[in-house]
């Protein structure tokens, strides 16, 4: 374990200095235009500073009775964000598992480069990891996909121990007393990675009579999205639908705000819903707990949730902030 931690710390150093990585940041968007350089860099910075920090690694792993696993894990990685599957890989790596990895076609260039940098440091790694198109010969599986994809996963992987992740979204709670700095941070929760992540806020809960138009000036840092063709294609399409259906909404050049009780919202739109009292709001959060990844607010301790965070922190999870609240390392340890 000490060797693996040492290798991971060295990986962080290489990620910061590798010319190959720096070049990949600039070219990643050529295949997947959602992977703009600033968001690829954001993902790498999160890996370097949140996942590969020696102190954080030791703090994270100190909670477990770690032992090397003899199991081989099938990993099906998502491709909605750059390098979004790295944490699952990291959990398997520190547990000593073998891996068979199926990359998403949307993100099949970034991870192999990161993997090869680690394999140069830990020379035994390539003997334990295989990149595959079809999963065969594994003992357990960790898969991330849409709700539709998971229906297939549930059937295909029914004989195996598994962690299957479905669609989730995050919500933010405003009380009308937020500072300008907090609302500025909220913009990160909304717009990082174009809002594609399960930790991105797709829905606001706001007090009765709250004027959501006050939010628009705080979104100014992301005005550049107006220049992104795919994002604006979504914006134009969604706004056309709203107008044809005569649905009331508020809009600036790159985001629409819609009063809508649904938690998921289409790209380039943000749902909001009014609440009158906190008890009613907590009941709503409890009702939709299986669909909510994070609850973002100015007072995280106030809300009962498996992941309640401050403004600006939804896309900055710690190593122990597991997706869907399922402890991946403990799952691996329990396999024996």
Give the DSSP per-residue string, 208-249: TT--GGGGGGGGGGGGGGGG-HHHHHHHHHHHHHHHHTT---
pLDDT recorded at residue 145: 85
CA dihedral 34, 168, 266, 110 (to 10 degrees): 0
Instruction: Please name the helix (run of DSSP H) or strand (run of DSSP E) that holds residue 173, with its range, or none.
Output: strand 169-173
For the chain, the average pLDDT equals 95
Least confident of 3-7, 275-279, 291-295, 303-307: 303-307
Measured from the Cβ of residue 124, the count of other Cβ atoms closer than 10 Å reads 8
Residues making up the chain, counted from first to last:
336
pLDDT at 283 over 80: yes
Q: Are 287 and 217 in contact (CB under 8 A)?
A: no
Q: Are 93 and 119 in contact (CB under 8 A)?
A: no
- Joined together, the tokens standing for residue 152 give 């297939």
State the chain's maximal CA–CA distance in angstroms.
61
- Joined together, the tokens standing for residue 280 give 């009613």
Q: What is the mean pLDDT of residues 42-58?
A: 96
Give the list of residues 6+ apart from residue 2 with CB closer than 8 angstroms, or none. Answer: none
pLDDT tens-digit series, residues 171-229: 999 999 999 999 999 999 999 999 999 999 999 999 998 999 999 999 999 999 999 99
Structure-token match 């990685």, residue found: 77
Give the list of residues 6+ apart from residue 83 with CB closer than 8 angstroms, or none. Answer: 43, 44, 47, 107, 110, 111, 114
292 burial (CB, 10 Å; 0-12 / 13-18 / 19+) is buried
- Read off the pLDDT band of 31 (50, 70, 90): confident
Q: What is the mean pLDDT of residues 114-121?
A: 97
pLDDT recorded at residue 146: 84
pLDDT recorded at residue 28: 87
Chain centroid, CA 184 distance in Å: 20
pLDDT at 18 over 90: no
């Amino acid at each position: 374990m000490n060797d693996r931690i040492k290798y991971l710390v060295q990986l962080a150093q290489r990620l910061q200095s590798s010319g190959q990585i720096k070049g990949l940041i600039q070219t990643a968007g050529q295949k997947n235009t959602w992977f703009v350089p600033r968001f690829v860099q954001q993902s790498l910075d999160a890996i370097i500073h949140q996942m590969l920090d020696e102190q954080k690694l030791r703090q994270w792993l100190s909670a477990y009775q770690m032992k090397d696993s003899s199991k081989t894990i099938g990993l099906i990685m998502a491709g909605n964000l750059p390098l979004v599957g790295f944490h699952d890989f990291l959990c398997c790596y520190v547990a000593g598992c073998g891996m068979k990895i199926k990359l998403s076609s949307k993100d099949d260039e970034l991870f192999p480069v990161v993997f090869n940098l680690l394999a140069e440091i830990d020379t035994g790694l390539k003997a334990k990891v295989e990149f595959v198109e079809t999963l065969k010969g594994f003992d357990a599986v960790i898969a991330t996909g849409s709700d539709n994809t998971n229906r297939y996963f549930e059937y295909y992987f029914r004989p195996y121990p598994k962690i299957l992740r479905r669609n989730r979204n995050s919500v933010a709670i405003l009380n009308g007393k937020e500072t300008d700095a907090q609302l500025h941070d909220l913009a990160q929760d909304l717009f990082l990675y174009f809002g594609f992540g399960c930790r991105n806020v797709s829905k606001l809960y706001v007090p009765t009579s709250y004027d959501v138009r006050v939010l628009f000036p705080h979104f100014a840092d992301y005005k550049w999205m107006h220049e992104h063709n795919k994002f604006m294609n979504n914006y134009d399409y969604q706004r056309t639908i709203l107008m044809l259906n005569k649905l009331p909404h508020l809009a600036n050049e790159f985001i629409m705000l819609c009063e809508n009780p649904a938690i998921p919202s289409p790209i380039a739109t943000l749902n909001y819903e009014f609440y009158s009292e906190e008890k009613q709001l907590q009941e709503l959060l409890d009702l939709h707990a299986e669909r909510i990844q994070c609850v973002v607010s100015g007072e995280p301790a106030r809300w009962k949730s498996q992941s309640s965070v401050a403004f600006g922190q939804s896309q900055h999870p710690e190593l122990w902030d597991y997706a869907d609240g399922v402890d991946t390392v403990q799952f691996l340890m329990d396999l024996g």
